[in-house]
Chains A and B, each alone.
Chain A
Amino acid sequence: MRWLLLLLLLALPARAEQVVAGLSQNRIAITANFDGSEILIFGAVKREAPPPGAAAMGVVITLEGPKEPVTVRRKDRWAIIWVNQEALEVDRAPSFYAVATSGPLDDVLSDVEDLRHSITIRRAIRSVGAPMEIADPTNFTEALIRIRERADLYQIKPGTVEISEETLFNTSIALPANLVEGNYRARFFLTRDGAVVSQAETLIYVQKVGLERFLYTLAHEQPLVYGLMSLAIAIAAGWGASAVFRYLQG
């Protein structure tokens, strides 16, 4: 079965086309007044031969933040109050995920390819082994997606990748202000009739800089110093305000 698939893949005109990727910036600095950022993602299709006319071309671009484990909890009625009861641990959920495509998702990407490359959000979230007492684990992952979509952390944007001349493509993805630090992975998929024929990948480094970097590092590496510093600032501010008011009152 696997051999057959491989043969099929080789038989396809896959090697004829190759996707080449680019980004408007590969480094995002989180400064104190960071208020989200918009990145322009673009690329081109490199060919040795003229484009195969018959199969419909599609481009899928994903941008994925660092993955982390999360716990999704559900409230249930207990006596008269609503209480967190069942909880599902999702092993790896990206802190940010955006999917942009050149057309309706079903047209540009087949289910099999989606599963193989974990392209849509549903596939990118991994949760293995839901506990037995949870009858409906999908409701939990759906909720995770729903809540993060509302916060613009998960974005599905079909038809936002513009393709010109079957060669150049571009899209833009808005990164929200509450961004987590880490390496963001941008993946590019070139598809023909829903099958991935070429893919490329680049990284964007999202990093705190300046004051943000200093405070974050200090808090984690010198927690006692950091704590004492916080207290010193608090006491100085308290004293300062008191002194100023006293002066103002004569």
Chain B
Amino acid sequence: MQIYLPIAEVSVNAFLLLGLGGVVGVLSGMFGVGGGFLMTPLLFFIGIPPAVAVATEANQIVASSFSGVLAHLRRKTVDLRMGTVLLIGGLIGAAVGVQIFNALREIGQVDLLVRLSYVVFLGIIGGLMFIESLSAIRKSRKGGKPAQRRRHNWIHALPIKVKFRTSGLYISVIPPLLVGVFVGILAAIMGVGGGFIMVPAMIYLLGMPTKVVVGTSLFQIIFVTAFTTLLHATTNYTVDMLLAVLLLIGGVVGAQVGTRLGTYLKAEQLRILLAIMVLAVCGKLAFDLLVMPSELYSIGRGGH
């Protein structure tokens, strides 16, 4: 069934959109990532104009993250205090990121910047996670005792310490705040929720337990993407509500399924799966940059 999208001004198959939303929703619920880093390129691929894809995706992430976070709240796996600190950082970062984005658009290389930052960040994070979780799995198979990840490092020497009871941490607010700012900047530039960066940062940098990380990440993503949606809707008029509805119907159902699937997997398995996925997307994007495209030309709407 074809459906005409009023803002994107293209006609696409409604079931295809529902399916895409569903698949990405499952991943979102499982890993606590918004799924934007997968969905945005997929939307480009089916012919949605990039500006509309990025803006609408932000709206869809709000829905799937909200659906996911409710399930986590019920299981008490959301660190609200940590989430709020990350959120404050995230909003600051998003505002800064939008400025950077606009400045680069003036120069005319924003597309390259987005792609390169995808490749670089997905590559580094995916690689690190893959290696780390592989060795964790190996250790747990050998010794039976899970790897101890929490260690004392420079982070514990910083001032303004706060107790994060849900995470079982007593650390300074400066690192999570900085993580929030950094993720906010990237989220604005790359048009994603930023979960795929925040989740590893929370695990490896802040030393939060994996169980709490997913819910807390979703909590922060809701607000940052809601902010981004409003920004896009009021400045570029690129949020396509019909597209968002179709994606989020699939997405919210998928997120529920994903959250439940996630509980059946061990933390190390969950991490290695996410790592593989991140690396796959990174590889595809790198491949597109390296191989000569079959059509060298592309059409952009409007002047400049």
Contact = CB atoms under 8 A, between A and B. Distances in A.
Interface of A: 30-36, 68-77, 80-84, 87, 89, 139-140, 143-144, 146-148, 177-181, 208, 211-213, 215-216, 219-220, 223-224, 226-231, 233-235, 237-242, 245-246
Nearest to B2: A35
A218 to B, nearest CB: 9
Given A219-B237, A228-B230, A241 B252 contact: yes
Contacts of A77: 292
B303 A231 contact: no
Contacts of A144: 297, 299
A35 B10 CA distance: 10
Interface stretch (B60-68, B176-184, B189-197, B267-275): B60-68
Contacts of A224: 230, 233-234
B97 to A, nearest CB: 18
Nearest to B108: A87
Interface stretch (B85-93, B129-137, B156-164, B242-250): B242-250
B217 interface: no
Interface in B63-79: 63-68, 70-71, 74
A220 B237 contact: yes
Contacts of B241: 215, 219, 226, 229-230, 233
Contact of A245 (B256, B291, B301): B256
A70 B301 contact: yes
A9 to B, nearest CB: 38
A30 B4 contact: yes
Interface in B199-236: 226, 229-230, 232-235
> Looking at chain B's contact residues, is the secondary structure mostly helix, strand, loop, or mixed?
helix
A227 B241 CA distance: 9
Contacts, number: 192
B60 A234 contact: yes
Contacts of A72: 297-300
A69, A73, A231: residue with the most chain B Cβ atoms closer than 10 Å: A231
Contacts of B296: 74-76, 82, 143
A107 to B, nearest CB: 31
Contact of A32 (B3, B60, B232): B3
B66 A84 contact: no
Contacts of B253: 241
B297 A242 contact: no
Contacts of B4: 30-35, 177, 212
Contact of B233 (A32, A216, A230, A246): A230
Contact of B112 (A32, A71, A84): A84
Nearest to B245: A233
B62 A238 contact: yes
Contacts of A223: 233-235, 237
B66 A235 contact: yes
B67 A239 contact: yes
A242 B73 CA distance: 11
22 contacts: A75-B298, A80-B290, A82-B289, A84-B109, A89-B303, A139-B297, A148-B299, A211-B242, A215-B241, A216-B6, A226-B233, A229-B241, A233-B244, A233-B248, A234-B66, A234-B226, A235-B63, A237-B63, A237-B248, A238-B64, A238-B65, A241-B253
